[in-house]
Amino acid sequence: SDAGPQGGRVVTEEEWLQKWETGNIRFHKEQGHPLLQKHLDVLLNGRSGLRIFFPLCGKAVEMKWLADMGHSVVGVEISEQALKEFFSEHGLPYCEEPVPEISGGKMFQSISGNISLYCCSIYDLSSSVVGKFDGVWDRGALVAVNPRDRQRYASLMTSLMEKNSSYLLVTVSYDPNKHKGPPFYVPESEVKSLFG
């Protein structure tokens, strides 16, 4: 079909939560991602004290890296277990509060205040709730979104970006006939049509 071999594939929120419950999280990189280290200057562009967004954050250790550099980190993740594991694995005390604008939404914030992780679906967020960002680290996010939701995801991400923000995106390349995803195959031509 026009949507490609993976176009109709859907991974439900329940399936993601189950991956966390059963420890089926091979996407998690305990040592962090080498491509962020390599291209950090593209993300930061000489700026300090940035607001950096981690969509579909899991318990990505890069959040700790950037917070330690003095940036303010905001993430969103449907699995509360993932967020609690993030704080406990880094020995970071945190507090938890409801998010009035989002039904059932919670926010977990480090006591030092520079890491705020929303537990809800990314589609519940808007700039009126989380503000706008100077930088985005998108690894395991666009490629994890169900193919049918990509346009909605890209429009939302664009709406969360400040004028001069930078967006580092990691995609994967493989034959989509041989693996059903996630991660889904998102070719460069599609990245261009999604983000312009």
Going by the annotation, the residues of the binding site are 16-27, 56, 77, 121-122, 139
What's the rounded Cα separation, in Å, for the pair 117 and 110?
A: 9
Cβ proximity to ligand SAH: between 44 and 145 the closer is 145
* Contact residues for ligand SAH, defined by CB under 6 A: 16, 27-28, 56-58, 60, 76-79, 82, 121-123, 139-141, 144
Whole-number minimum distance, CB 10 to ligand SAH, in Å? 11
Tell me how far, at minimum, the Cβ of 39 lies from ligand SAH, in Å. Answer: 15
Give the sign of the dihedral formed by CA 20, CA 60, CA 38, CA 189: positive
Q: Which is nearer to ligand SAH, 16 or 94 (CB)?
A: 16
Task: Write down the least CB distance from residue 117 to ligand SAH, Å.
Answer: 11
Q: How far is the CB of 145 from ligand SAH (least distance, A)?
A: 7
Contact (CB, 8 A) for 141 and 167: no
DSSP 83-129: HHHHHHHTT--EEEEE-TTSTT-EEEEETTSSEEEEES-GGG--HHH
CB nearer ligand SAH, residue 111 or residue 127 = 127
Q: Which lies closer to ligand SAH via its Cβ, residue 79 or residue 116?
A: 79
Question: Where is the binding site for S-adenosyl-L-methionine, in residues?
Answer: 16-27, 56, 77, 121-122, 139
Q: Considering Cα of 173, then 38, then 92, then 166, what sign does the dihedral take?
A: negative
Residue 54, helix vs strand vs coil: strand
Phi, psi of 129, rounded to the nearest 5 degrees: -90, -50
